[in-house]
Chain A
């Protein structure tokens, strides 16, 4: 048995975290990306820079601030305590919030690019065909931006699976709660359990390869000149 029960638990938790992060982050990123792609507000540039910060900041910096914010004296901690939800630091929910912040640019940028490259025309056409802007968003903009949507989902999922620093900072290493594959590998190495570390690490390499392959295929399909033989 290559995987110990702890390792399997970590894999399950990782997949759960990545899936939930992807779903929630896309819901958040869709309107945000649409706004960024279309607004002429002077706040666009600073907001864009702010939302791209997680891309360049060391995960430990990000994790540190998130930890402080979610802690008993942080603004987020105050809020969650006032609402009777307790503290999110060192919980799965806290990890989920951290992952969303950490992967935000990876969801935002492909969507923003996809929306911007549509140009105003498809939405204008939809409007002249009696579609309410919201209707047009779901029936025209979103389907046309599908390659961007898929790219955003894949990148977010993969990036969440690969995160380590943020997890360690705000999640700690609690089995079944916050111990994901990357921290599990770290634990194995610390304990000199190289065999187990190999299995998990190798799986991560294979997984990442498959993800990048899928991404390339998706993007190639989107870029392909659409010449097809008519039925």
Chain B
């Protein structure tokens, strides 16, 4: 488990505490200058409270919020900027579009009030990034749930904020609508030059979007750090049961048209995956679940599984069910987590530091 990064490497720092009825929220976070930081945790763990305090919609105590050179709140110095003076964008769980304005009117609302000289450019960029130019003349009531959220995000970006806060923006959407909006969020993550804090309790959103991960439990930070590092943790896995697994990033380096497969080069390994049509050179994010990884003590000879990687066992930890173990293995610079039975570990004599082979039954390509 890696603690919060030191302030010196990052421009944005949030330290806040907020008493609640049953527990108190207390976090100390440094945000990277760009990319999505996912604030992850079960419902009622205080994620939304943290976001509202950063935005100034709720007032935390003994807190200090610094964004680059600007201090938004410093209770020791008696500084508190009200929400409307904080240059941030906020997207609420249900797209709270102004019903009395059409889409264009909604987008212009923040634009007119922003003092940022590049707000016009930011809005044009957001309209392009989120593909909403066909919607501009529409009344908000005629939009689908997914369209509403895209408009709400563009509206938040139209003020050219220095920080974008997203509070479970997909939670009010059904599965099909979520799948419709997720690619737009991935585009935002890759294109925007500002930090994004994204609150969710859905592991698929985490897996697809998070560059950095902060896990919150009953108001306390349980784990924080780069997503792949935090997810590869097996002593106290962030995700439970079927969702234990790792994220890998790689690049498509070869396509085999005959077998319809693509080769993805990872840090120190490579995998043959289903060819999704993505071009050579494209960066991809892969999710490998622990249940889909098995281990062999020697090189497997006659297996149907195509992806077999030599690896070194790093550590083993008990899983939820006493019959099972989580095993962390290293293949080159990449880390995998395998779920095996304790009996298998015993009969193969698996131990930390030992060389083995990992077989990957299935790999999900996130983007």
A residues near B (Cβ < 8 Å) are: 121-122, 124-133, 135-136, 139-140, 143-144, 146, 226-231
B98 partner, pick from A125, A130, A229, A230, beta carbons under 8 A: A125
With A122-B96, A125-B98, A144-B99 known as contacts, the answer to whether A228 contacts B84 (CB < 8 A) is: no
**What chain A residues lie within 8 Å of B84 (beta carbons)?**
126-128, 130-133, 136
Are B113 and A125 in contact, CB atoms less than 8 angstroms apart? no
Q: Which residue of chain A has the shortest Cβ distance to B156 in the bound complex?
A: A128
> How far apart sit A144 and B56, CA to CA, in the bound complex (Å)?
24
B137 partner, pick from A139, A226, A231, beta carbons under 8 A: A231
Are A125 and B159 in contact, CB atoms less than 8 angstroms apart? no
Are B142 and A228 in contact, CB atoms less than 8 angstroms apart? yes
Interface membership of chain B positions 328-358, coded 1 if the CB is closer than 8 angstroms to chain A and 0 otherwise:
0000000000000000000000000000000
**What chain A residues lie within 8 Å of B137 (beta carbons)?**
231
> How far apart sit A127 and B161, CA to CA, in the bound complex (Å)?
13
Are A143 and B138 in contact, CB atoms less than 8 angstroms apart? no
Interface membership of chain B positions 156-178, coded 1 if the CB is closer than 8 angstroms to chain A and 0 otherwise:
10110000000000000000000
CB of B155 within 8 Å of the partner chain: yes
How far in angstroms is the closest Cβ of chain B from A228?
Answer: 6
The 16 sampled A-B contact pairs (Cβ below 8 Å) are A122-B96, A122-B98, A124-B57, A124-B90, A124-B92, A127-B83, A128-B84, A128-B89, A129-B110, A129-B156, A129-B158, A130-B87, A130-B113, A130-B159, A133-B84, A144-B99
B residues near A (Cβ < 8 Å) are: 55-57, 82-85, 87-90, 92, 96, 98-100, 109-110, 113-115, 137-139, 141-142, 155-156, 158-159
> How far apart sit A131 and B98, CA to CA, in the bound complex (Å)?
13
The CB with the most chain A CB atoms within 10 A, among B83, B84, B99, is that of: B84
Q: Which residue of chain B has the shortest Cβ distance to A125 in the bound complex?
A: B96
Are B99 and A129 in contact, CB atoms less than 8 angstroms apart? no
A230 partner, pick from B83, B92, B109, B142, beta carbons under 8 A: B142
With A228-B139, A230-B138, A230-B139 known as contacts, the answer to whether A130 contacts B110 (CB < 8 A) is: yes
**What chain B residues lie within 8 Å of A136 (beta carbons)?**
84
> How far apart sit A136 and B109, CA to CA, in the bound complex (Å)?
10
Q: Which residue of chain A has the shortest Cβ distance to B84 in the bound complex?
A: A127
**What chain B residues lie within 8 Å of A230 (beta carbons)?**
138-139, 142
Are B113 and A129 in contact, CB atoms less than 8 angstroms apart? yes
With A124-B57, A226-B99 known as contacts, the answer to whether A131 contacts B139 (CB < 8 A) is: no
How far in angstroms is the closest Cβ of chain B from A120?
Answer: 9
Are B109 and A226 in contact, CB atoms less than 8 angstroms apart? no
**What chain B residues lie within 8 Å of A139 (beta carbons)?**
109
**What chain B residues lie within 8 Å of A121 (beta carbons)?**
92, 96
Q: Which residue of chain B has the shortest Cβ distance to A121 in the bound complex?
A: B96
Q: Which residue of chain A has the shortest Cβ distance to B97 in the bound complex?
A: A125
**What chain A residues lie within 8 Å of B156 (beta carbons)?**
128-129
**What chain B residues lie within 8 Å of A132 (beta carbons)?**
84
> How far apart sit A124 and B167, CA to CA, in the bound complex (Å)?
13
Q: Which residue of chain A has the shortest Cβ distance to B52 in the bound complex?
A: A124
A135 partner, pick from B89, B113, B115, beta carbons under 8 A: B113
A227 partner, pick from B57, B138, B141, beta carbons under 8 A: B141
> How far apart sit A133 and B56, CA to CA, in the bound complex (Å)?
13
Q: Which residue of chain A has the shortest Cβ distance to B111 in the bound complex?
A: A129
> How far apart sit A20 and B83, CA to CA, in the bound complex (Å)?
38
With A130-B114, A143-B100, A226-B99 known as contacts, the answer to whether A125 contacts B138 (CB < 8 A) is: no
Are A128 and B142 in contact, CB atoms less than 8 angstroms apart? no
Q: Which residue of chain B has the shortest Cβ distance to A231 in the bound complex?
A: B137
Rank and list the top 9 A-B pairs by shortest CB-CB distance, nearest first.
A129-B110, A226-B141, A128-B90, A130-B113, A127-B83, A143-B100, A230-B142, A127-B84, A125-B96
Are B141 and A228 in contact, CB atoms less than 8 angstroms apart? yes
> How far apart sit A129 and B89, CA to CA, in the bound complex (Å)?
7
Other contacts beyond A124-B90, A231-B138: 10, CB < 8 A: A121-B96, A124-B96, A128-B57, A128-B84, A129-B110, A130-B85, A130-B159, A140-B100, A226-B99, A230-B142
Are B159 and A129 in contact, CB atoms less than 8 angstroms apart? yes
Are B109 and A127 in contact, CB atoms less than 8 angstroms apart? no
> How far apart sit A228 and B143, CA to CA, in the bound complex (Å)?
10
> How far apart sit A231 and B87, CA to CA, in the bound complex (Å)?
34
How far in angstroms is the closest Cβ of chain A from B97?
Answer: 8
How far in angstroms is the closest Cβ of chain B from A152?
Answer: 18
**What chain B residues lie within 8 Å of A126 (beta carbons)?**
84, 109
How far in angstroms is the closest Cβ of chain B from A134?
Answer: 10
